[in-house]
């Protein structure tokens, strides 16, 4: 994909120019190339990292953070359907949600799109999912893997709670647990008792693909 259109997409996001960002995303979408769409999704994710830094440093306020997220959501809405090429045979079921107290879902949704395009049947529980919500979904769907997303350090303990509850209800042996999101690390995953931490959606998809081949 031509780098200038990806740059334009990221720049328009960082200029909080909704129309400009959507126009750039449309140019990418019109190519119909899955690789171009993935590059564009990466460009949006890179832009959001800069948004986070601006917010953290005090350069930007909540209003800018919220609007940048709205632009990202709009752009992702345009690009996501093009990633879900999928295969006819399911590689397995994966249940995914964002932990209780956390409303971030852009990264989770990117992982879901990648996993679906790799042939997984993904059950999306949405955001702010309480422990009981994850447990009920594992009981109902008996998934290959449970994915939890967490971007706030104030909610990361929710992951340990879910894993403990899976153990208490004798469900842990039957499901792999994968976690992702800006608040988490490999070390955190080990301590919480998860099977894997994914720093990004592509790695996460590769990990569950490895599990489904076992
Ligand atoms: C966009 C955004 C928002 C949007 C979210 C909109 C939405 N629908 O998601 C809004 C405006 C709502 C928001 C609100 C808040 N936010 Co905010 N937000 C961000 C921001 C800028 C980008 C997040 C994002 O979407 N990144 C892009 C995606 C693609 O990256 P990602 O989520 O990490 O996902 C990738 C991987 O991690 C992985 N992945 C993610 N989940 C999963 C799950 C699985 C299973 C797998 C395998 C992989 C995986 O794959 C993805 C793609 O590769 C971050 C900054 C940052 N650096 O993360 C702050 C940030 C997360 N927010 C922050 C804060 C403080 C808040 C607020 C508390 C602000 C406030 N004062 O109200 C609220 C909290 C609301 C709540 N209760 O959740 C802080 C968190 C600090 C901390 N350490 O806890 C950050 C880090 C900003 C900062 N630097 O200060 N936010």
Are 66 and 135 found together in one domain?
Answer: no
Instruction: Please name the residue that has the structure tokens 């609007």.
Output: 67
Are 53 and 129 found together in one domain?
Answer: no
Instruction: Return the pLDDT at 102.
Output: 98
Are 203 and 98 found together in one domain?
Answer: yes
Sequential pLDDT tens for the chain (214 residues) = 578 999 999 999 999 999 999 999 999 999 988 899 999 999 999 999 999 999 999 999 999 999 999 999 999 999 988 886 555 678 899 999 999 999 999 999 999 999 998 999 999 999 999 999 999 999 999 999 999 999 999 999 999 999 999 999 999 999 999 999 999 999 999 999 999 999 999 999 999 999 998 7
Instruction: Please name the residue that has the structure tokens 């440093």.
Output: 57
Whether 101 maps to a domain, the answer reads: yes
Find the 73 Cα to ligand 1 centroid distance in Å: 13
> At which of 48, 83, 118 does a domain end?
83
Q: Whose CA is nearest to atom 82 of ligand 1?
A: 152
Number of domains in the chain: 2
Are 57 and 139 found together in one domain?
Answer: no
Residues spanned by the domain of 151? 93-212
The reported pTM is 0.95
User: Is 33 exposed, middle or buried (CB count within 10 Å of its CB: 0-12, 13-18, 19+)?
Assistant: middle
Q: Whose CA is nearest to atom 36 of ligand 1?
A: 200
What CATH number corresponds to the domain at position 133? 3.40.50.280
Q: How far apart are CA 25 and CA 41, in angstroms?
A: 9
Are 76 and 107 found together in one domain?
Answer: no
Are 38 and 64 found together in one domain?
Answer: yes
Distances (CA, A) of 88 to 91, 116, 118: 9, 11, 10
Find the 179 Cα to ligand 1 centroid distance in Å: 14
Average pLDDT taken over every residue of the chain: 95
Find the 132 Cα to ligand 1 centroid distance in Å: 23
Whether 88 maps to a domain, the answer reads: no
Whether 137 maps to a domain, the answer reads: yes
User: Is 59 exposed, middle or buried (CB count within 10 Å of its CB: 0-12, 13-18, 19+)?
Assistant: exposed
Q: Which of 100, 103, 104 to mutate to test the pocket of ligand 1 (most atoms within 8 A of CB)?
A: 104
What residues flank ligand 1, with Cβ below 6 Å?
45, 48-49, 51-52, 55-56, 62, 65-66, 69, 73, 96, 101-108, 110-111, 147-149, 151-154, 178-183, 198, 200-201, 204
Q: How far apart are CA 205 and CA 37, in angstroms?
A: 17
**pLDDT single digits (tens) 75-116:** 999 998 888 655 567 889 999 999 999 999 999 999 999 999
Whether 106 maps to a domain, the answer reads: yes
Whether 20 maps to a domain, the answer reads: yes
Distances (CA, A) of 191 to 12, 103, 108, 141: 40, 24, 22, 26
> At which of 83, 105, 125 does a domain end?
83
Q: Which of 46, 52, 63, 97 to mutate to test the pocket of ligand 1 (most atoms within 8 A of CB)?
A: 52
Are 79 and 98 found together in one domain?
Answer: no
Are 46 and 107 found together in one domain?
Answer: no
Are 98 and 63 found together in one domain?
Answer: no
What CATH number corresponds to the domain at position 30? 1.10.1240.10
Whether 187 maps to a domain, the answer reads: yes
Q: Whose CA is nearest to atom 34 of ligand 1?
A: 107
Q: How far is CA 205 from the centre of its chain?
A: 11
Are 67 and 98 found together in one domain?
Answer: no
Find the 182 Cα to ligand 1 centroid distance in Å: 7
Are 108 and 205 found together in one domain?
Answer: yes
> At which of 27, 62, 83 does a domain end?
83
């Amino acid at each position: 994909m031509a780098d200038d259109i990806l740059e334009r997409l990221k720049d328009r996001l960082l200029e909080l120019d909704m129309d400009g960002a959507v126009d750039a995303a449309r140019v990418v979408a019109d190519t119909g190339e899955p690789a171009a769409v993935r590059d564009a999704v990466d460009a949006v994710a890179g832009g959001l990292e800069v948004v986070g830094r601006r917010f953290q440093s005090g350069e930007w306020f909540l209003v800018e953070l919220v609007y940048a997220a709205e632009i990202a959501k709009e752009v992702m809405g345009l690009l996501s359907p093009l990633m879900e090429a999928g295969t006819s045979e399911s590689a397995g079921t994966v249940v995914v949600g964002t932990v209780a107290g956390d409303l971030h879902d852009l990264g989770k949704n990117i992982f879901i799109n990648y996993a679906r395009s790799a042939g997984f049947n993904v059950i999306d529980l949405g955001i702010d999912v309480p422990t009981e919500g994850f447990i009920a979904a594992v009981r109902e769907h008996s998934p290959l893997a449970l994915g939890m997303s967490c971007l706030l350090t104030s909610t990361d303990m929710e992951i340990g709670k879910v894993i403990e509850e899976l153990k208490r209800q004798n469900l842990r042996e039957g499901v792999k647990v994968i976690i992702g999101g800006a608040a988490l690390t490999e070390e955190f995953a080990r301590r919480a008792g998860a099977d894997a931490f994914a720093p990004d959606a592509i790695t996460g998809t590769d990990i569950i693909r490895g599990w489904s081949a076992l």
